[in-house]
Amino acid sequence: MLAAMMAVLWVVLWVVPTIANAQWSQPEEEEKDSDRRCMQCHGQPHIAELGPDERRSMVGTWLDPDTPPPADAPEIEPLAGDEEPTRPALFVLHEDLAHSPHADLRCIDCHEDAARLPHAVRLNRATCASACHTEVWDDYAEGSHREAYDHDDERAPTCVSCHGGHDMHAIDDRDAPQHRLNRLFLCGDCHAKHGPSREGVESAARVRAYLDSAHAKAITEAGLLWAATCADCHDAHRVHKADDPRSTVYRENIPETCGSCHEGITEIYEHSVHGKLLAEGDENAPVCTDCHTAHSITRASSPDFMLDI
């Protein structure tokens, strides 16, 4: 009887936990295995220096000599001749991943079409929204940035353009490009390269005007976190052209956009003759930017503001 009880006790104390641990650890091992497969290539520094032919041979070679490739294996296209000489971003530092908000994700959680090797020559870059950032993706998908991307504009930003790739930081990280003290330069560096607008205004001139404004100086000189940045007025992901009624800077929407910060002043404006005319649908009713301008904003108490009026 005692021997039977001891046997049961041994099962409860040793065998059951062992089985449970094995069951719980298996997915973790699988995750490590999938990342390990990726890093066998992408963790090697020399991959950043490979030319088009060498890169193509890596994804164009079936890795199992004893098994023929499946019928639906990705078809290897011939080189077009316009490939980049090298792809430095193919090399992934493990340390970058370990310190990013995505540290707990597997490579194939983001690069879904790389789950089977060899993967296709070209992987889909737009998988950020497949399971995680769906709401943000919906905003981006209907905005002018995505429209530019769909028209093959090389300057069109993707998720990675603003947030980085494997070396991503949380947005409240002081080193993140989207941190409130940094994001004006993130947007400005890109838009300074754009050509003139339809109204003939140089994009670079608008960037310079903003950087010299009361809004930007509150950030760059005073370190004021909640001073208005580009994304506060234009939105971060749901960016539309100013003449689009969906835009946060569409003329009729400007009081609401400015009012998200200047709440008290907006209440005064709404009860003013200007605000009442706008509410009645008068398209010529003055809005905030008619008096204060859009980018080169100065303090209302400054001589420059009074001269502009």
- pLDDT of res. 309: 64
Distance of CA 62 to the CA centre of its chain: 34
- pLDDT of res. 21: 41
- pLDDT of res. 304: 75
- pLDDT of res. 113: 84
Q: Mean pLDDT, consecutive 10-residue segments, the chain of 309 residues?
A: 42 39 43 82 94 85 62 70 90 89 90 84 74 90 93 90 91 94 94 80 90 96 95 96 96 97 95 96 94 90 72
Residue with tokens 């998720």: 159
Tokens describing residue 92: 């992934």
- pLDDT of res. 16: 38
Alpha-carbon span 211 to 207, nearest angstrom: 6
Give me the amino acid identity at 119.
Answer: H
Tell me if the bond preceding 177 is cis, omega within 30° of 0. no
- pLDDT of res. 258: 97
Following CA atoms 117, 120, 125, 131 in sequence, which dihedral angle do they give, to the nearest 10 degrees?
Answer: -50
